[in-house]
Structure 1
Amino acid sequence: MAAISSLGVGSGLDLSGLLDQLEKAERMKLDPITTQKKTQQTKLSSYGRLKSSLTSLQAAVKTLNDSKTFQGVTSNISGSGATAAAKSDAVVGRYAIEVGTLAKAQSLATTGVADRTVDLGEGRLTISVGSGPAAKTTNIDLAANASSLEDVRDAINKANGGVSASIVNDGGATPHRLVLTSTATGKASEMTVSFTPAVGAEGGQLAGLLGYDAALPAEDNSMTQTVAAANATLKVNGIDITSQSNVVEGAVQGVTLSLSEPNSSQVLTVERDNAAIKSAVTGFVTAYNSLQSTISSLTSYNADTQVAGDLLGDATLRSAQSQLRNVLTGTLGEGALTRLADIGIELELKGTLKLDSTKLDSLVSGNLSALSGFFGGSSAEGGMAGQLGTVLNSILKDGGALSNVTKGVESRVKSLGERYTRVEESISATVERYRKQFTQLDMMLSEMNATTSYLTQQFDALNAQLKG
């Protein structure tokens, strides 16, 4: 008998539909696992939200615990002849800046040659930048077949000896001139140039092109000084200052001046960066209130809908909240300011913080050292920010409370996933066993139906003969 290609064809029964119903019933075993896994994944997401809020608060607390936060300054300079950038060690005050001359880099130029690609002679080019023990000397050997003006330019630039080289076309009969420029400004970066022909060589044109020494009369130098090296000169509150560079550091403590216009006057004002300090405090309040909002959402309960927050009653969350509240309600500072209320921050009944900006402004402008001490402190325990930072580090560190409970949930999610796979494989095996049994049943019933039909035909034929 031919194999049955579709369940129920041989028997006439809806075995395929019955198999579908059995498979559906079997797969219901997966529903509890799916529900448990979804619950754990939701809890894992909730721990992620809690960690994110705690990390934001940790960053805000770290800013308040940094003494540099309360030492920041801003600088403002009038006019367009100079700009200023102040660091935290700048001294608050007003400074009169008078720019005299700008620093310049020395430039030297050769006489012209007709062809910039023609070789000009073998030998050694020596360039010194500066004088005395601090001088930087570079020796460049030029081969006879690689000594064109272009070759000399490229060799100088490749040497990185504090000199840049270029070729200028002046439009004359012999237009190509090699120009050397010191890469640094100031008289300390003046150049000395000499060329020594190779032994046995005539030296070619280079011997008559390359040569400069400031100690010699101009007529004895092969090269012409087109720009003289110069130092920047300026006055700060009437005190004369000389600088090798147009970027002047140290003339005003903690301030870098960038000069751009000679014979100009400016007024530099250095002030405490009160806006940054207030921003740090308000940033802490905002981060803490955001954390409280997250906690409220995760632990809420709606009596009407009977829907609870994902972490309602969670021990790790309650512990973190309790530790932070204990710090905020304890004695925090070490000086005149000892409580949050002293700096204009009230801890409200609903757990959030409320900032009195007027009170904070008064402290920032009138008692900054006390405010800094309140947050940063000076002892090993530290002020409010130090104590909060210790608690937050304990909660958030690897191996801390939040890390451990998160890893536990992740482990349960993984375990449930593996269990789901095992049960699904078991269901597939069971359904396949049902399929084989139904196939055998279908074939057996098909054979019985065929036998019944045959016997019925034989009995009908026998009856017909007996009646005849």
Structure 2
Amino acid sequence: MAKITSSIGVGSGLEIGALVQTLVTADTAAKKSQIARQTSNNAAMISGIGALRSALTAYSTAMGKLNDKNAPSFNAYAGKSSNEGVVKVNAGNTAVAGSYSVAVSNLATSSKVATNAFVGGATSLVGDGDMTITQGTTSYTLKVPAGATLESVRDQINKELGAKGISANIVTGEGGSRLVLGSTTTGKGTDISVSGDVTSLNVDGTQSMAANGAGYVTEKAVDAKMTIDGLVVTSASNKVADAVSGLTFELTGVSAVGTAATVTVAANSDGLKTSIQGFVDAYNTLQKAISSLTATSQDEEGNLVLGSLTNDPTTRSLLSDLRKVLTDVGSGDRLTTLGQLGINTTKDGTLEFNSAKFTAAMDDKKLGNEVQELFSGENGIFARMNKAIDPYNAADGSLVSRKAGLDSVAKNLKDQQDALDHRVETLTASLTKQYATLDANLGKMKAQANQITAIFDALNAQAKKS
């Protein structure tokens, strides 16, 4: 922007700088005020949209943790093991309160086999052709190229079969280097064997490496074996989900001889209460964030101050959609509303959790095994909440579109300000030049007047002498 300096005209005595400043301000003040006001409002809206998206993302993240399928937060029952070094337990909604004596005699293991030793080490040539790796009833064939080494075959196996749970490495010891293959699949009958054209790598996974040079490393793959209240249970996996209705056992170790762990299952009222309070807290945090963005207040002079999203139609629509989820009837059997669990909406839009009503729902009405369906079911609270939020906060949602539109407005306002700055500069230069020219002309006229006055004064003086 041009800088207007204070100067006094030599010919006119006018303060040209002040005069030009006044004229330029009169010409541009209204536009400048308009741009400043619109820029401030637009920046506030951009900030508000950003804050709203952050609040929605935080709320969605909190719901995601509560709705984690691998760590359910709304199980009606809770299981506890007296020795988690041997067995852990997770109780689902179909569990039954009680206790069980559990002993683990062996864990499920996976197959690990080794080839014959190569005295030349990892760079030893192994041959080429088809190599077939078989595990159980499944076979995979790899095309081993000419010039392949123990090292390159290892890398090929890991690249092509890593996603199948089969991996390879090289172990070097006395006698040379061996290709060792392992698997993440456990259970009897899952032993790995290698056959095909690359005969130097062939392995019979049912034979011991110690006796045959190539074979299983320690033992063949075996099933897990445990007793539950004296009844023998075997499993191909160390996660046993079908032995007791509603319970999933995770076997973590072998029981000492003659000992057993005690697994107890009881109603999970405290856990459910904690999870429900977590949902209420997450929703209230979102509600308070939105309220702060849409609230009105007064400044020190009593003037009304609007929030960045006050009267914003998108925010009002979002709030309406969220509140509708809270009041809709769910698809459960006996438990269909949040109110039955003691969750109600207050005047300010937040939720309150009535502990006494919740306890009655658990103890008297026995609604515990329906809480998970209400929150995490196919048409539960979380599913409906996500469905309500996605149109706004998704990557192609309305809030993203709003932000893009506001960014475009911000750019347009900046362009307008740049144009206004240019006008101030050119107008200042133009007016300064005009008034400088005027002042110079006035100076010339004043000099001419002084000359004429001097001539007349001289004539008058001469006339008086004569």
Question: What band does the TM-score fall into relative to the shorter chain?
Answer: 0.5 to 0.7
Cα displacement string for residues 200-240 of structure 1 (whole angstroms, at most 9, x for unaligned residues): xxxxxxx8x76654788999945465422130332241443
Check if 1:282 corresponds to 2:277: yes
- Partners of 2:60 and 2:339 in 1: CA distance: 22
TM-score normalised by the chain length of structure 1: 0.64
Aligned length, in residue pairs: 439
Check if 1:355 corresponds to 2:353: yes
- Structure 1 residues 6-405: aligned runs within 5 Å: 8-30=9-31, 32-34=33-35, 36-37=37-38, 40-41=41-42, 44=45, 48=49, 55=56, 70-71=74-75, 75-82=79-86, 84=88, 86=90, 91=95, 94-102=99-107, 103-108=109-114, 110=116, 113=119, 115-116=120-121, 128-130=133-135, 133-136=137-140, 140=144, 151-160=149-158, 162=166, 164-170=168-174, 175-184=175-184, 185-192=186-193, 213=204, 221=212, 223=214, 226-237=217-228, 238-246=230-238, 250-251=242-243, 257-264=249-256, 265-269=260-264, 274=269, 277-279=272-274, 281-283=276-278, 285-286=280-281, 287-288=283-284, 291=287, 295=291, 298-300=294-296, 305-310=301-306, 314=311, 343-345=341-343, 353-364=351-362, 367-368=366-367, 372=371
Deviates more, 1:95-104 or 1:275-284: 275-284
Check if 1:445 corresponds to 2:442: yes
- Partners of 2:156 and 2:233 in 1: CA distance: 35
- Partners of 2:326 and 2:202 in 1: CA distance: 79
- Structure 1 residues 401-412: aligned runs within 5 Å: none
Return the offset for 1:77: 3.4
Return the offset for 1:25: 3.6
Return the offset for 1:441: 0.6
- Partners of 2:179 and 2:312 in 1: CA distance: 77
- Partners of 2:393 and 2:106 in 1: CA distance: 57
Q: Higher Cα Rg: structure 1 or 2?
A: 1
Shift of the 389–447 alpha-carbon distance from structure 1 to 2, 3 Å rule, reads same
- Partners of 1:12 and 1:364 in 2: CA distance: 93
Cα displacement string for residues 404-452 of structure 1 (whole angstroms, at most 9, x for unaligned residues): 9999999998887777677666666654543343122112112223324
Shift of the 358–21 alpha-carbon distance from structure 1 to 2, 3 Å rule, reads same
- Partners of 2:211 and 2:345 in 1: CA distance: 84
**Is contact 1:316-1:401 (8 Å) kept?**
no
**Is contact 1:332-1:374 (8 Å) kept?**
no
> Which residue number in structure 1 is paired with residue 4 of structure 2?
none
- Partners of 2:248 and 2:218 in 1: CA distance: 26
Identity fraction in percent:
21
Give secondary structure in 2 for the equivalent of 1:282. Answer: helix
Root-mean-square deviation (Å): 6.0
TM-score normalised by the chain length of structure 2: 0.64
Deviates more, 1:8-17 or 1:84-93: 84-93
Query: Which letter maps to 1:8?
Result: G
Query: Which letter maps to 2:180?
Result: L
Query: Which letter maps to 1:15?
Result: I
**Is contact 1:104-1:186 (8 Å) kept?**
yes
Deviates more, 1:55-64 or 1:38-47: 55-64
**Is contact 1:70-1:368 (8 Å) kept?**
no
Deviates more, 1:457-466 or 1:103-112: 457-466
**Is contact 2:336-2:374 (8 Å) kept?**
no
**Is contact 2:114-2:179 (8 Å) kept?**
yes
Which consecutive residues of structure 2, in runs of 5 or more, have no partner in the other structure?
1-6
- Partners of 2:441 and 2:401 in 1: CA distance: 60
Return the offset for 1:96: 3.7
